[in-house]
Homo-oligomer: A and B are copies of this chain.
């Protein structure tokens, strides 16, 4: 009965699923931990935050401060990569409670001799249970207290010196300790990076000549000038010939058709090999090195499926599912079949541990080649325990490795993949082109449970997704989507062609690209009349210059009276009163101009409704002031957005 804890410790944050998974942070950030701690009556409580990086480390401690409504708070710094643990400890602070009550009585002039005696009794108890230095010091203080005048006794009982000794001697009655919670400290690129996707074989001036890693080196300056930091390739492995797909996903390829790089594996090798026409391992290493010199990193695709020509089918038939007639079980979603692709079976007879280890070793091979970022294809069709185990294994050796989950499925699964270890995730952003639905989606990501573990990577397009909005909205639509992606999230991505406003669909109502690079070589073009390279360059520059643009978590929406004009602000990460905020306004209609009255969030700066805010237009470079909370604006498709920096006017500070 009395063994149940007297104190209650609950609602600790950040905790993901009761501590089963890690909250995601990056090195250099502080983790702010809050907890609810309370007990019966008016007792004084105390709390400490304990944390450590890695299992073997010593726990470090810091006192928590008490906030209203039984909340407590403290912070700890993330100074190195990897898994961290923290716990919260609370207890009944007997001396603190005595001191608090005694001080009130002294102030009210009602302290009695028995109140002094009560203090001495607590000190005597502490002496009885201590040894060493603290005991010696307390034992020296007690006779002083006993023989002191009333005034001296008050001074001594309320002294910081005694409080400190009593804290050291505290036996922490009714101590309660939370279950350990986990935090992953990743490198900053897990939260903030700008991706550019190309098919290396398309880096050629001529469709007839297969691009190479050497060719890719040639465009690195251009990619870097646009401000990207991550260059991502679809699979670069040998491509199977069995059931090869032709242009536009046809089933009748010609002899020169290059096939889909997602049909991985041929007699030249599988996931651990390079497509011979792209180059050798030496060529690849030269490319990785050149990219690093340009401040770029290479991200690779991890697509687990195999072409029917993949060496594993012969070497490890026990990793696959076979049918009663001895045929392969192809990927299928009945009645559809995908006959250029075979899936491994994670629970096949020989799969554990053979297949699981082999897949992990593929990742470790590319990590050894200098690749630290992997975009994972369709992880939701592979078993979750594999991801949890594999990512854990890789990150225990290489905590700098980042995995991006390319799962477009139900939210439960997308969130779960993030929990089991994916640093970043594809999202529904691509299809959220109305103000209300985009606002609702961002608020789900920034204010509900996923904020602790789900980092949204906002791709404006992908080789598989040519959004209807871009197909029909032309250049204004591309600019609108670029601004939204680049300013709403710390992570955004562009699949090449987007910057040229290439958006021809395979057919009416189709979301695929016409003449998709997945099935053919499309010679790369850096610039074109009417491209939006300048917008992208500006956006990436602003993202580097302003930490406020390096996360989605700080996004706050403000009111406009137009359902076409979205308006949000992002304060800089950090503590203290708001001194500046990046503000973004976008007309989400690529076809029509819209005006609105919008609300200037003066209150965020502590200003009254008639106050004045200084505005720097970060796109145009000019500065001005806005007076008062209600303002009007007109945004045309030719100038569909504003990016402003709000700050307190110099004379107001």
Q: Which A positions have Cβ atoms within 8 angstroms of B?
A: 1-6, 8, 10, 17-18, 36, 38-42, 69-70, 101, 104-105, 107-108, 110, 113-114, 117-118, 120-121, 323-325, 327, 332-335, 346-347, 352-353, 356, 380-386, 388-389, 410-413, 416
Contact = CB atoms under 8 A, between A and B. Distances in A.
Nearest to A41: B381
A1 B353 contact: yes
Contacts of A18: 18
B356 A1 contact: yes
Contact of A412 (B70, B107, B327): B70
A535 B525 CA distance: 81
B121 A8 contact: no
B110 A335 contact: yes
Instruction: Count chain B CB atoms within 10 A of each CB in A2, A8, A108, A332 and give the residue with the most.
Output: A2
Closest 3 CB pairs of A and B: A4-B385, A108-B335, A117-B324
A221 to B, nearest CB: 41
A41 B380 contact: yes
A210 B80 CA distance: 76
Contacts of A416: 8, 38
Nearest to A385: B4
A40 B382 contact: yes
A69 B411 contact: yes
A4 B388 contact: yes
Contact of A335 (B40, B105, B347): B105
B40 A381 contact: yes
Contacts of A389: 1, 4
A3 B39 CA distance: 40
B410 A104 contact: no
A334 B1 contact: no
B385 A325 contact: no
Contacts of A70: 410, 412-413
A385 B39 CA distance: 10
Contacts of A104: 334-335
Counting every copy of the chain, the complex holds 2
Given A36-B412, A335-B105, A1 B323 contact: no
B324 A118 contact: yes
Given A101-B334, A410-B69, A2 B323 contact: no
A4, A17, A107, A110: which has the most chain B beta carbons within 10 Å? A4
A183 B169 CA distance: 44
Given A69-B411, A324-B114, A385 B335 contact: no
A18 B179 CA distance: 14
Contacts of A386: 1
16 contacts: A1-B385, A1-B389, A4-B389, A8-B412, A38-B412, A38-B416, A40-B413, A69-B410, A70-B412, A101-B332, A101-B334, A105-B334, A108-B334, A118-B324, A120-B324, A121-B324
A222 to B, nearest CB: 39
Nearest to A5: B385
A435 B101 CA distance: 39
Contacts of A2: 346-347, 352, 356, 385
Contacts of A39: 383-384
- Max chain B Cβ within 10 angstroms of own Cβ: one of A10, A323, A327, A383: A383
Q: A36, A40, A69, A114: which has the most chain B beta carbons within 10 Å?
A: A40
Given A1-B386, A101-B332, A114-B327, 14 more contacts: A1-B356, A2-B352, A4-B385, A10-B412, A36-B412, A38-B410, A38-B412, A39-B384, A40-B384, A70-B413, A101-B334, A108-B334, A108-B335, A118-B323
A34 to B, nearest CB: 13
A381 to B, nearest CB: 4
Nearest to A124: B324
A166 to B, nearest CB: 17
Nearest to A356: B1
A473 to B, nearest CB: 30
A92 to B, nearest CB: 10
Contact of A114 (B5, B118, B323, B388): B323
